[in-house]
């Protein structure tokens, strides 16, 4: 990965080349990486819906919602789109399923540590569920971490990627049947190759001066 190139001109593409597809082995590697992305207390609260055919991408493009038409060509012309959806809540049954899998995978050196971890996870989730009352928001933060890591992984694999927040979650959730499964769309990840006509790439990045965003503690 060339970080200095990203710093200089790493705009997210605005126009994708409809003739280019991500090779399957490279896309598989990206999915494997995404599968490995961590979540706080290993809550695994994100579901990824992969649209790799024109038909699947059309389902997203056709239901992106009024006012978000500017994102339609990106979805149609990209090679792949991944919908990052987040759970509405975390049931105790799901937490038990996660714990059983951790046990089966040999995550704990002994039963005492397994029990301790189980109690810590329950305490942490209940804190967000009952005290702070931000469980869904907290899970969406996990999804955004996955988004950021996926964007960097795509760069590493030579794929162009754009995050899209511009969509109507009501129409997209309905089309993808997400709410009945206990999920809702958080953000879209568009993947493919920038089209040569994308003149935005030539414009400089605009940020406030660095000292507005960074303070160095003494």
Q: So which residues are the catalytic ones?
A: 14, 74, 165
Binding region for ligand FMN (CB under 6 A) out of 55-63, 90-98, 160-168, 208-216: 160-168
Binding-site string for ligand FMN from residue 112 to residue 151, where x marks contact by CB under 6 A and - marks none:
----------------------------------------
Check if the beta carbon of residue 153 is closer than 8 Å to that of residue 30: yes
Q: Crossing angle for the helix pair 92-104 and 111-126, nearest 10 degrees?
A: 150
Give backbone dihedrals phi and psi of 115, rounded to 5 degrees, phi first: -65, -40
Find, among 83, 189, 81, 185, the residue nearest to 136 by Cα.
Answer: 185
Measured distance CA(113)–CA(65) in Å, rounded: 48
Question: Exactly one of 44, 45, 46, 71 binds ligand FMN (CB under 6 A); which one?
Answer: 71
HEC-encoded secondary structure of 61-72: HHCCCCCCHHHH
Binding region for ligand FMN (CB under 6 A) out of 44-52, 106-114, 127-135, 157-165: 157-165
Question: Exactly one of 65, 73, 166, 182 binds ligand FMN (CB under 6 A); which one?
Answer: 166
By the rule CB under 6 A, 33 interacts with ligand FMN: no
Binding region for ligand FMN (CB under 6 A) out of 54-62, 100-108, 130-138, 161-169: 161-169
State the CB neighbour count (10 A cutoff) for residue 114: 15
Query: What's the chain's Rg over C-alpha atoms?
Result: 20
Binding-site string for ligand FMN from residue 188 to residue 217, where x marks contact by CB under 6 A and - marks none:
-----------------x------------
Check if the beta carbon of residue 185 is closer than 8 Å to that of residue 3: no
Contact positions vs ligand FMN (CB under 6 A)? 11-12, 71, 163-166, 205
């Amino acid at each position: 990965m060339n970080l200095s190139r990203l710093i200089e001109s790493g705009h997210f593409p605005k126009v994708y080349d409809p003739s280019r597809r991500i090779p399957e082995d490279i896309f598989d590697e990206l999915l494997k990486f995404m599968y490995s992305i961590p979540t706080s207390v290993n809550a695994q609260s994100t579901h990824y819906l992969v649209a790799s055919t024109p038909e699947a991408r059309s389902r997203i493009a056709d239901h992106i919602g009024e006012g978000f038409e500017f994102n339609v060509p990106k979805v149609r012309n990209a090679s792949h789109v991944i919908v990052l959806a987040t759970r509405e809540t975390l049931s105790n049954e799901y937490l038990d399923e996660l714990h059983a899998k951790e046990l089966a995978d040999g995550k704990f050196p002994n039963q005492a540590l397994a029990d301790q971890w189980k109690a810590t996870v329950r305490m942490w989730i209940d804190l967000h569920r009952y005290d702070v009352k931000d469980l869904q928001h907290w899970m969406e933060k996990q999804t955004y971490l996955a988004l950021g890591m996926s964007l960097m992984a795509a760069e590493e694999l030579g794929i162009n990627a754009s995050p899209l927040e511009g969509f109507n979650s009501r129409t997209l959730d309905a089309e993808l049947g997400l709410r009945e499964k206990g999920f809702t769309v958080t953000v879209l990840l568009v993947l493919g190759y920038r089209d040569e006509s994308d003149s935005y790439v030539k414009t400089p990045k605009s940020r406030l001066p660095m000292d507005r965003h960074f303070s160095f503690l003494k």
